[in-house]
């Protein structure tokens, strides 16, 4: 007389489904995280009540002593249109202006005009008001 059960219970635990779930969560958080590329140049940004985060493609920095940088590479105002055109690569993009608060407005307007003439959207970087 055989009293053993025909259905065996498997006691092994498979981790493959758990690793799939963790991998999918990792991809989800990587894709939904906000990508902000901070400017590496020391600029004292003006403050603003509403500071929104914009996905930047090209960064233009104007320091307090009127030095111009396109994506952290130094340029001057005469070469700025060509350097900006090369950075945009002929595509429509977002240009974020990192302008020191002591820089006169005419320099900001000149650079914004150059960027809009190249079909780029212009955004001015600010720090949140305290």
Mean pLDDT of successive 10-residue stretches along the chain, which has 130 residues: 70 78 88 63 60 64 89 88 84 82 88 87 78
Q: Where are the domains of the chain?
A: 47-128
Which pLDDT does position 51 carry in this prediction? 52
DSSP3 helix / strand / coil % (the chain, rounded to 5): 30, 20, 50
Which pLDDT does position 15 carry in this prediction? 75
Copy the structure tokens of residue 62.
């104007």
Which pLDDT does position 105 carry in this prediction? 86
Tokens 């981790």, residue located: 15
In this structure, which CATH number among 1.10.3860, 3.90.1530, 3.30.980, 3.30.420 belongs to the domain 47-128? Answer: 3.30.420
pTM score above 0.85: no
Residue 71: left (phi > 0), alpha (psi -120 to 50), or beta?
A: left
Copy the structure tokens of residue 17.
């489904």
């Amino acid at each position: 007389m055989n009293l053993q059960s025909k259905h065996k219970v498997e006691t092994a635990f498979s981790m493959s489904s758990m690793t799939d779930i963790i991998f999918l969560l990792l991809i989800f958080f990587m894709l939904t995280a906000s990508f902000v590329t901070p400017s590496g140049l020391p600029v004292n940004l003006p403050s603003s009540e509403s500071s929104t985060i914009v996905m930047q493609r090209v960064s233009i920095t104007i320091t307090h002593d009127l030095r111009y940088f396109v994506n952290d590479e130094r340029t001057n105002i005469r070469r700025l249109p060509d350097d900006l055109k090369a950075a945009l690569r002929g595509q429509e993009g977002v240009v974020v202006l990192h302008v020191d608060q002591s820089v006169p407005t005419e320099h900001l307007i000149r650079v914004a005009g150059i960027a809009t003439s190249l079909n780029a959207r212009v955004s001015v970087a600010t720090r949140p008001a305290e």
